[in-house]
Structure 1
Amino acid sequence: MVRDAFRHPLPAYGRGMKRSIERSLERSPFSPGFWRSPLRGPWLTSVLGVVLLGGITVLFLTGLVSYAAYNPDLSPVNDKTPDKGILGFYLFSWPTDPHWLYRLNQGVHVTLGITLIPVLLAKLWSVVPRLFTLPPARSLAHALERLSLLLLVGGALFEFVTGVLNVQLDYIFPGSFYPLHFYGAWVFFAAFLAHVVLKLPLALRNLRQIREERNDLVPTEPAEPTVSRRGALWFVGGGSLLLFATSVGQNFDGLRWTAVLAPHGPADSGDGPNGFQINKTAAYAGIRPADTGDEAWRLVVTGRTGTVRLSRAELLRLPQHSAALPIACVEGWSTSDQWWRGVRLRDLAALVGYDDPPDVFVESLQQRGAFRRAALRANQVADPRSLLALSVNGEDLSPDHGHPARVIVPAAPGVLNTKWVARMTFGDL
């Protein structure tokens, strides 16, 4: 096959160079004889592809839902992708019921993404010979197919790598995670969908065949097998199961110690009634004790009838309400329901002239981080479980959990449950 590239006679002085090039190509990845693993073939590739078809579809949908949970239409406060245009066609007002909605969605999204890593790597390994086929493009249609594969492979690696880095709180990629992951997901899924349309009938046919048809994935000179293809699938499945077992525990307080691959463990929890998961500590956020003391801190509430300044003691004299709600973070970890107690957001809206609660803009004392400011929709403010919490599990909030006051809203992403609240502005943003 390699020699077909040299059909025209060469002068004598060029024959030696020709033979040298031929030998080099035969020892390179561009030669079919280079790829000798007997495991490669249409059946193995098809099995892995079908698993990824279901898994990546769930990842894409839960990712879109996760983005909608941030209420990015509350622009410009919550909008991290202002140039999304038509890509935001599906956005909707995020509900408050069921109260565990975001916890479930993000737990599935992150845990499934980590679990699929061995399957993705095995799939890429199974088709790697096709990346080195010669000539690179036999026709315009073939060139377009190769381009779609480049977008598919590159998009998959980009989405999985940036997702894992975000889970591990390693923000080493250029720019903000939100637009990179959002736009990357659309590019990748478009290439993925085109690939599925082209290859799914062939994959299903390969799965039904008893004997494999020879194609460019089957080695021309296979090496001696050391494991069967089913054994290889068990190996991949075992890797996925191991990643699942060492990451899913971050969604359950009693199993958090098993989540050895998660960035937060039991050591990142508080003590006593405040003894549940902490994402960003007060020290990390730049919160100074002098700013949160009873003498210095005041909550500034602004609305239709003007501005009200409330000390923590004055907030405690307002009607107090309780709600059992979890905290769920974009990185995939969550807590069980905690008992929060404080002033309803709708009651604070009433203090500044709103019988029907509007949207609210919340500002924090926090000095670091992307969500020092956040906005909540009217339906979230109106929910009687939405609180400006002053205590949790029967005890005052600890500094790391947002003392002197924090927002807690059912089904909202953790970053919208603003800690160390300083100002709340009700009405038009």
Structure 2
Amino acid sequence: MRDPDAPRLPSSPGFWRSPLRGPWFTSVLGLVLLVGITVLFVTGLASYAAYNPDLSPVNDKTPDKGILGFYLFAWPTDPHWLYRLNQGVHVTLGIVLIPVLLAKLWSVVPRLFALPPARSLAHALERISLLLLVGGALFEFVTGVLNVQLEYVFPGSFYPLHFYGAWVFFAAFVVHVLLRLPAALRGARGLREERKQEERKREQREEGGLREEGDTLVSPRPAEPTVSRRGALWFVGGGSLLLFATTVGQNFDGLRRTALLAPHGGGDPGSGPNGFQINKTAAYAGIDAAETGADVWRLVVTGRTGSVRLSRDDVLQLPLHSAALPIACVEGWSTSDQWWRGVRLRDLAALVGYDDDPSDVLVESLQLRGAFRRTALRANQVADPRSLLALYVNGEELSADHGYPARVIVPAAPGVLNTKWVARLTFGDL
């Protein structure tokens, strides 16, 4: 039966009765998020830079980035597994932090309803940062998870949404940390100190003293506990561990089938030299087999001295080179190193006048639909001897789904920049 004296409004101190809430529980969760979200933000910015946003508007999905592009740099090609590591950490960590984030939001719900809305300028700034923090966190995690699970669920719009959302969220995060970090560190010292603080605050209330903001987390009429705060933290940690175990396998060939909650390059890729993950099939991209036959397909290479038109046999007459490189996708999954063989991009650049100074290149695909039909690579990527227009993989011709008759493969580049079904290469400043 409902207590007739129980508060009916969320703004009432006694409305939230869980005995788990308190500075110690919230502070521990907050410190975990402090480290985790900082890593997420840095790896997210690095991932964005890997798409070459300051090279060409072809790859730039974030319009009018202005001062937010201050950190952009030429994405390196060494080590060749750099993007695989970066995006694996970004996606896996983002999923693992979901239970921690939800627990943190649950732990501070009373503060969202606390009255008065602001008792001082510092308190007003904290409340505003808290609202932006909660809204931004939910937006970033929800859009990120949807993009990972559904792949390209925001075609043409996910990149600017996630990019701008990240800056808004992180700005609120920094403000909130600056305002709350001292209290969080004090709160994380232990339950004993928290209990002493709660006792002092209770005495102040009985004496008619002012109510402190921290009281909004500790219920004046708590319900009977069913689990300890440390037990609740173990529960949250167990949830994160479960998500880790069912996600991290997407980065490793032997563990790929354990990645139940993360995509790992579509369904069963089959066996044989072409039996590894893909990000989209030839059918999905609208590739017509009539356009890719050896007697029909032509590669157009354009540059300083004009254009050349090459058949597949012509390309095969050029010096062929090999490189062991992985495929790493923005959704977080990746393959181990595959053995690619083809013509160096810098040798193709030399055919059209770029002998000693490899330039940027615009790569165009035969695909009819989907994002990244046209992509741009930097001069440093073209110059790397492992950057190939690949014709073979693992000793066999490329399959249709892996980009036959030719695809680009570049060390440390996001998978979507390793364009498949290449039709045209345009070298020059973009």
- Is TM more than 0.5 here? yes
1:306 aligned residue: 306
1:428 aligned residue: 429
1:350 aligned residue: 350
2:150 aligned residue: 169
Counterpart Cα distance in 1 of 2:394 and 2:154: 38
Counterpart Cα distance in 1 of 2:158 and 2:42: 18
CA displacement at 1:269 relative to structure 2: 1.6
Is the Cα contact below 8 Å between 1:268 and 1:279 reproduced in 2? no
Q: Partner of 2:283: helix, strand, or coil?
A: helix
Q: Partner of 1:402: helix, strand, or coil?
A: coil
Is the Cα contact below 8 Å between 2:360 and 2:427 reproduced in 1? yes
**AA partner of residue 330 (structure 2):** V
Counterpart Cα distance in 1 of 2:310 and 2:152: 37
Counterpart Cα distance in 2 of 1:104 and 1:41: 37
Determine whether 1:199 maps to 2:180.
yes
Q: Partner of 1:361: helix, strand, or coil?
A: strand
Structure 2: give runs of 5+ residues left out of the alignment.
Answer: 199-214
Determine whether 1:211 maps to 2:193.
yes
Counterpart Cα distance in 1 of 2:340 and 2:152: 32
In structure 2, the CA distance between the partners of 1:25 and 1:427, relative to structure 1 (3 Å rule), is: farther
1:414 aligned residue: 415
CA displacement at 1:135 relative to structure 2: 2.5
In structure 2, the CA distance between the partners of 1:176 and 1:265, relative to structure 1 (3 Å rule), is: closer
In structure 2, the CA distance between the partners of 1:172 and 1:344, relative to structure 1 (3 Å rule), is: closer
2:402 aligned residue: 401
Q: Partner of 1:422: helix, strand, or coil?
A: strand
CA displacement at 1:130 relative to structure 2: 0.8
> For residues 267-282 of structure 1, what are the structure 2 equivalents within 5 Å?
267-282=267-282
CA displacement at 1:268 relative to structure 2: 4.0
TM-score, with structure 1 as normaliser: 0.92
Counterpart Cα distance in 1 of 2:26 and 2:189: 13
Percentage identity across paired residues of the two chains: 85
Q: Partner of 2:91: helix, strand, or coil?
A: helix
- Residue by residue over 1:60-112, the C-alpha shift from the partner in whole angstroms, topping out at 9 and shown as x without a partner, is 00001111111111121111113110111010001110000000000000000
Counterpart Cα distance in 2 of 1:267 and 1:370: 21
Computed over aligned residues only, the root mean square deviation of the Cα atoms, in angstroms, reads 1.6
Counterpart Cα distance in 1 of 2:151 and 2:333: 16
2:35 aligned residue: 54
CA displacement at 1:253 relative to structure 2: 1.1
Counterpart Cα distance in 2 of 1:25 and 1:223: 12
Structure 1: give runs of 5+ residues left out of the alignment.
Answer: 1-22
In structure 2, the CA distance between the partners of 1:399 and 1:24, relative to structure 1 (3 Å rule), is: farther
Counterpart Cα distance in 2 of 1:265 and 1:369: 16
CA displacement at 1:286 relative to structure 2: 0.5
CA displacement at 1:254 relative to structure 2: 1.1
CA displacement at 1:262 relative to structure 2: 1.4
* Greater percentage in helix: 1
> For residues 155-304 of structure 1, what are the structure 2 equivalents within 5 Å?
155-169=136-150, 176-209=157-190, 210-212=192-194, 213-214=197-198, 215-264=215-264, 267-304=267-304
Counterpart Cα distance in 1 of 2:351 and 2:150: 39
Counterpart Cα distance in 2 of 1:72 and 1:265: 25
1:144 aligned residue: 125
Q: Partner of 1:334: helix, strand, or coil?
A: coil
2:375 aligned residue: 374
- Residue by residue over 1:93-149, the C-alpha shift from the partner in whole angstroms, topping out at 9 and shown as x without a partner, is 011100000000000000000000000000000000111112223345433322111
**AA partner of residue 104 (structure 1):** L
Is the Cα contact below 8 Å between 2:329 and 2:414 reproduced in 1? yes
**AA partner of residue 211 (structure 1):** E
Counterpart Cα distance in 2 of 1:82 and 1:75: 12
Is the Cα contact below 8 Å between 2:263 and 2:331 reproduced in 1? no
Q: Partner of 2:188: helix, strand, or coil?
A: helix
Determine whether 1:340 maps to 2:322.
no
**AA partner of residue 380 (structure 1):** Q
> For residues 15-164 of structure 1, what are the structure 2 equivalents within 5 Å?
26-164=7-145
1:388 aligned residue: 389
In structure 2, the CA distance between the partners of 1:171 and 1:400, relative to structure 1 (3 Å rule), is: closer
TM-score, with structure 2 as normaliser: 0.92
